Amino acid sequence: MATETTTLRGGVKAAELEGIKRESLVLNKRSMQWITDRICGIVENRQPFIWWILFLPSVVLAGCLMFTLVYLVSTGVGVWGNNQPVAWGWAIVNFVFWIGIGHAGTLISAILFLTRQRWRTSVNRSAEAMTLFAVVCAGIYPGFHVGRFWMVWFLAPIPNANAIWQNFKSPLLWDVFAVSTYFTVSVIFWYIGLIPDLATLRDRSKAGLRKALYGIFALGWRGGNRQWRHYEMGYLLLAALSTPLVLSVHSVVSFDFATSVVPGWHTTIFPPYFVAGAIFGGFAMVLTLMLPVRKLYGLEDMFTGKHIDNMAKIILLTGTIVGYAYIMELFISYYGANKFEADAFYLRIVNGPYTWAYYCMFFCNVISPQIFWFEKARKNLWVVFIVANFVNAGMWFERFVIIPTTLARDFLPGQWGYYSPTWVEILMFCGTFGLFLSLFLLFIRFLPVIAIAEVKGVLPEADPHYPEWTALRKKRGLQPDGPEVETSHH
Amino acid sequence: MKRAFAYVAEFDSAAAIYHAAEQVRDAGYKKWDVHTPYPVHGMDHAMGLGKSWLSGVVLCGGLTGFCTALFLQFFTQVDLYPTVVQGKPTNLNTVPAFFPVTFELTILFSAFAVLFGLLAFVMLPRWNHPLFGSKKFARFSDDGFILVIEARDAKFQEADTKEFLLSTGASGVELVEEEF
């Protein structure tokens, strides 16, 4: 057949296109039934031994979190190391750290959905679960940071015991609204995405408690197109709502700092810089969790090298944006000619109490992801895993650098101090990791880690015109499973 | 007592059920649906369905959130209990400070409108349904492509509809009954 003369979309010769064949989203031509069996199998079969090895210590750590919280409430916030002048210690560092991790989940589920990145389908479920669990961990800190936990209802928009209303001009109150909205919307988004998959689990389980529970949460889903069309519209709308939401949440978190008049915090670069950093750190956490899960449960055909490659590229991009922000902060502190601002950054990078933390941050966040310029590094799972963990650590250091470094050197030398965490803060932070991992392991145990319905939808044969375009490709002398050709349909 | 509820017809692929749906649509049936493991692209067109107006509900939800937030902030800060913090009054000039909460509540109410609007539009939760009695139907959540024509459709006739479904390429047709 005359293949050389066949011209495809954009004037590309058919024969040339064969050379840049697009990788399939699901490898090894897996069938829909295989996808159902493999993903539901994780929930239905016994967990591997390693699940228990991870779960038991995580629960113990989560118990430590409970212990430290009880100790904190019964003794007083003085058990934390923060005091004047460093009034915001690890509690706020860890709050910002956890909330930032959540952002990758929303980015994957909302922004990549709107931009039609079809590879998101095998990653979004676990990333959204990670979002929820990270926000749960984050929410603990401001709740207890108020000092008297039983007064936390003062944050809600109702008049307090003296009939005084909240100050709606305060960024701390904006934060309450932003974080609680973010959590609620993330739960709704996640749950709506789960409904068809819960129906799959319901239809596969025999009668009994399992069937009853999956049945209740599947709400009686029947997968009719008269349901799907509203479902798809609802999902699209939630994606469109979550996209500005996720950008707003970390912007509002950064307002906690940026609207103050503290040197080093009072900068307009904070909102975009915080958002980029959040996405950066969140993707690292997705990779940290999903690389082992993918291997352990044999999900390599759905969560492919291509997914990891894409995520590594996003880490490279956002890491470089973060690096730009670091350098721009330094430049503006020099160029802006504000003595206090310049001094704050001098203390950060040259001779301050926490200069070491600045360089840890800079190495982890800016230098280490640069290895992802090389395809070999993006393909090597060990390299990806190690860099992702550098980024996890680096993003924690970023928040640490911003908060205590700035507060430890107030305007007058008499107000200088040094902050270090107490054992309560350290144990509490470890405890949030325990809680996070316990919740994630329970998620693996009871819910489908990959969005079953969505992955089926990206298979080539899921397209109702699959036979037509396969025939057309054959006529034009192309491989039947190559990149799409232009058809006259629609 | 039992009576016929619907014909459940199974198809082998998305392409087969897509073309069958076009034929059912053209034959003039009204009470029918296509049950698939994932939303099949272009099926709304094949079934002759228009755009989903869930977006209208969500717009109303968003506007409610927007108004609620502005009311909450202006009423409490200007009228009910003016708090002067750091010598700053609250009036129309302080609107920019109200943007974050207004934005968040707009999104929050819209998201609830998506959830409850969706449940109302798809008429869920409904934990039991006559179709759940069919083994063939249950495959919709795995790899089955199921077309259902309900008995309450004006054009439904036990013999003719079965023949019609087989002529559209169904690999199997089953009559599902309901108790009444």
Instruction: State the alpha helices, DSSP H only, in A336-459.
Output: 339-349, 355-362, 375-379, 381-407, 423-446, 452-457
Rounded to two decimals, the pTM is: 0.92
Residue A163, burial from CB neighbour count under 10 angstroms (0-12, 13-18, 19+): exposed
Nearest CA-CA distance, residue A245 and chain B, Å:
7
Return the DSSP state at A418: -
Please tell me which of the candidates B44, B105, B126 has its beta carbon nearest to residue A229.
Answer: B44
Q: How confident is the model at residue A2 (pLDDT cuts 50, 70, 90)?
A: very low
* Residue A487 pLDDT class (50, 70, 90 cuts): very low
Residues of chain A in contact with residue B52, where contact means CB-CB under 8 angstroms, are 229-230, 232-233
Distance of CA B115 to the CA centre of its chain: 10
- Angstrom distances, CA of residue A344 to CA of A331, A395, A404, A458: 13, 20, 11, 51
Q: Which sequence spans correspond to the domains of chain A?
A: 25-149+165-457
pLDDT at residue A229 tops 90: yes
Measured in angstroms, the CA of A175 and the nearest CA of chain B are apart by 9
A4: confidence class by pLDDT, cuts 50, 70, 90: very low
The whole-angstrom separation of Cα B49 and Cα B10 is 21
- With CA atoms as reference, the chain A residue closest to B126 would be A220
B95 in reach of chain A (CB within 8 A): no
CA atoms within 13 A on the CB side of A280: 29
* Interface subset of B 3-22, CB within 8 angstroms of A: 13-15, 17-19, 21
**Per the structure block, which two tokens stand in for A55?**
């779960």
**Residue pair A176/B105 in contact by the 8 Å Cβ criterion:** no
Question: Residue A18 — pLDDT band, cuts 50, 70, 90?
Answer: low
Of the ranges A93-107, A182-196, A436-450, which one carries the lowest mean pLDDT score? A93-107
Mean pLDDT within A227-252: 94
Q: Does residue B106 sit in the same domain as residue B138?
A: no
Helix (H, G, I), strand (E, B) or coil at A285: helix
Chain A hits for B42, CB-CB cut-off 8 Å, are 464-465, 490
Based on the fold, state whether residues B44 and B25 are members of the same structural domain. yes
User: pLDDT of chain B along its 180 residues, tens only?
Assistant: 889 999 999 999 999 999 999 999 999 999 999 999 999 999 999 999 999 999 999 999 999 999 999 999 999 988 888 888 888 888 888 889 999 999 999 999 999 999 999 999 999 999 899 999 898 999 999 999 999 999 999 999 988 999 999 999 999 999 999 988
By CB atoms closer than 10 A (0-12, 13-18, 19+), residue B57 is: buried
Percentage with pLDDT > 70 across chain A = 93
CA distance linking residue A48 with residue A30, whole number of Å: 24
Contact between B34 and B21 under an 8 Å Cβ cutoff? The reply is yes
Domain count for chain B = 2
- Asked if residue B22 and residue B61 are part of one domain, the reply reads no
Give residue A90's pLDDT. 92
Q: Determine the residue of chain A that is closest to B70 in CA distance.
A: A168
| CATH number for position B34 | 3.30.70
What local confidence, expressed as pLDDT, does residue B44 receive? 93
- Residue B147, Ramachandran bin (φ over 0: left; ψ between -120 and 50: alpha; else beta): beta
Shortest Cα–Cα distance, A165 to chain B (Å): 7
Distances in Å between the Cα of A336 and the Cα atoms of A1, A326, A349 are 68, 15, 17
**What is the nearest CA distance from A70 to chain B, expressed in angstroms?**
32
Q: Is the dihedral of CA A455, A461, A466, A471 positive or negative?
A: positive
If asked whether residues B12 and B39 sit together in one domain, one would say yes
Strand-pairing partners, residue B9, are: B147, B173
Alpha-carbon dihedral A436, A303, A40, A31, rounded to 10 degrees? 170
Any chain A CB within 8 A of the CB of B84? Answer: no
Take residue A315 and report the two structure tokens written for it: 């880490």
Find which of A122, A226, A459, A461 to mutate to test the B interface (most B CBs within 10 Å of its CB). A226
Give how far B48 is from chain A: nearest CA, Å.
Answer: 11
Amino acid found at A322: V
Same domain, B77 and B94: yes
Taking alpha carbons only, the member of A434, A487, A375, A445 closest to residue A59 is: A434
Q: For residue B116, list chain A residues with Cβ-Cβ distance below 8 A.
A: none
Residue A442 has pLDDT above 80, yes or no: yes
Q: Which fold has domain A25-149+165-457?
A: Formate dehydrogenase/DMSO reductase fold (1.20.1630)
User: B141 and A200: CB-CB below 8 Å?
Assistant: yes
* Sheet strand arrangement including B2-11: B32-35, B145-150, B2-11, B172-179
What pLDDT does residue A484 have?
52
For residue B150, the cross-strand partners are B6
Question: Does residue A233 have a pLDDT over 90?
Answer: yes
Please provide the average confidence, as pLDDT, over all residues in chain A.
89
Interchain CB contact of B75 with A (< 8 Å): no
Which residues pair with residue B176 across a beta bridge? B6
Please enumerate in sequence order all residues whose Cβ is within 8 A of that of A141, keeping only pairs 6 or more positions apart, or say none: A91, A92, A94, A95, A98
Alpha helical stretches, state H, A259-335:
270-296, 305-335
Helical (H) or strand (E) element with B149: strand B145-150
Averaged pLDDT for residues A364-375: 96
Residues B170 and B133 in one domain: yes
Average pLDDT over residues A288-304: 93
A32 to B143: CB separation less than 8 angstroms, yes or no: yes
B44 near A CB under 8 A: yes
* DSSP conformational letter for A28: G
**Domain extent for B34:** 2-50+128-179
Chain A residues lying within 8 Å of B104, measured CB to CB: 174, 177-178, 181, 245, 248, 252
Confidence of residue A412 (pLDDT cuts 50, 70, 90): confident
Distance, C-alpha B170 to centroid of its chain? 26
Residue range A49-90, pLDDT digits in tens:
999 999 999 999 999 999 999 999 999 888 999 888 888 889
Total residues belonging to chain A: 490
Per-residue pLDDT for A315 more than 90?
Answer: yes
Mean pLDDT for A197-226 is 93
* Amino acid sitting at position A361: M
Of B121, B137, B154, which one is at a domain's C-terminal end? B121
Q: Please say whether the beta carbons of A233 and B52 come within 8 A.
A: yes
Q: Measured between alpha carbons, how far is A433 from A236 in angstroms, rounded to an integer?
A: 32
Residues whose CB falls within 8 Å of the CB of residue A70, separated by 6 or more in sequence, listed in order: none
Check whether residue B116 and residue B64 sit in a common domain: yes
Give the per-residue pLDDT at A9.
57
Shortest distance between the Cα of B159 and any Cα of chain A, in A, equals: 24
Q: What residues contact B62, with CB distance under 8 A and at least 6 apart? A: B106, B107, B109, B110, B113
Interchain CB contact of B180 with A (< 8 Å): no
**φ, ψ of residue A22 in degrees (nearest 5):** -75, 135
Contact B15 A224 (CB under 8 A): no
Q: Give the pLDDT confidence of A272-288 residue by residue, as tens digits.
A: 988 899 889 989 999 99
State whether residue B70 sits within 8 Å of chain A by CB. Answer: no
Give residue-wise pLDDT tens across range A125-180.
999 999 999 999 999 999 898 888 888 898 888 888 888 888 898 999 999 999 99
Q: What is the percentage of chain A residues whose pLDDT exceeds 90?
A: 62
* B170 close contact with A: CB closer than 8 A: no
Chain B residues with beta carbon closer than 8 angstroms to that of A164: 81, 83
Kindly identify which residue of chain A lies nearest to residue B12, measuring between CA atoms.
Answer: A461
Pair of tokens at residue A430: 């470890």
- Residues of chain B positioned with their CB less than 8 A from the CB of A220: 124-129
Position A486 scores a pLDDT of: 47
Q: Which residues is B35 bridged to in the sheet? A: A224, B146
